[in-house]
Structures are given as C-alpha cells and as structure tokens.
Amino acid sequence: MQKDELLITASLARLELREDEIDRLDEAVSSMIEYFTVMDEIDVDDLEPTTHAFVRDNRTRDDLFSGDSSMPDRLIENSPEREDRFIVVPNVI
C-alpha cells in the first residue's frame, strides 16, 4: 500500500499515527491486504453475500425504563471529565 493511502485510511479511522508507527503498520497492513487478494481466486459471483449467520426479521420491544434509576449516574461517573451532570470536551468553536 502507498504511504498516502495508509494516511488517508488512518484519518478516516480517526487515528493519528506517529512516525515510527507509520512504517510498522504500513508493512503489517500491506501484507494483510496482499493476503486478501487470495480471495480473487475463488469464483463466488453467483452467490448472495451473507451479512449475518442467522437471518431473522427485526424484533422490537416496548420502550420501557429498565428499572435501575442509578444507571444514568453510574454511566456519567465513568466519563473522563465532567461538571455536574455534563461531560466536558475541548471548545468546539
């Protein structure tokens, strides 16, 4: 893979790679992509793609409160930085 292709992919994946990582990962990604070309050999054109091992219809459930009123606070407590019940992030503007 070309290095700029790797950097475009990294940017799409929101990964900021350091210089030393770029060379290492470029080699690893390229050898896997090359390995994936083995799939070119097999003719499966007439088959439908399988997205899921078990195909079922969508199921819905009633939109009910789960019954644990402490859950929202317990989840918010896991945030890295907060003020009262708000999660703090750097300035957007």
Partner 1 sequence: MSWNTICGSRENADKYRAYIGEWENRIHSMLEYRVEHCEQGENRISGSLLSGMPFAAKDNIAVRDFKLTCGSRMLENLVSPYDATAVKRLKEAGCIPVAKTNMDEFGMGSSTDNSALLVTNNPWDTDRVTGGSSGGSAAAVAAGLVPFALGSDTGGSVRQPASFCGVYGLKPTYGAVSRFGLVSYASSLDVIGIMSRDISIIENVFNAVKGQDLNDQTSIEYRDSDSLSLAEKPVFSVLKNPEGLSLEVDEAYRNAAALLREKGYEVREIELPVLDYVVPAYYTIATAEASANLARYNGVRYGYRSSKGETPSELMKKTRDEGFGDEVKLRILLGTYVLRSGFQDRYYVKAQKIRTRIMNELDDVFRTSDLIMLPSFPVPAFRHGDESMSQYQQKVADKFTVTANLAGIPALSFPAGNYNSLPVGLQFFAPRYGEKMLLDAARIFENDYPVMNPQGFKTAEEIIG
Interface with partner 1, residue 28, by CB under 8 A: yes
Give least dist CB 39 to partner 1, A. 5
d(CA 27, CA 10): 14
Interface with partner 1, residue 2, by CB under 8 A: no
- Residue 72 is encoded by which pair of tokens? 């929202």
Residue found under tokens 């199921």: 59
Give least dist CB 54 to partner 1, A. 5
Interface with partner 1, residue 45, by CB under 8 A: yes
CA distances from 83 to 73, 75, 77, 79 (A): 13, 14, 10, 10
Interface with partner 1, residue 47, by CB under 8 A: yes
Interface with partner 1, residue 31, by CB under 8 A: yes
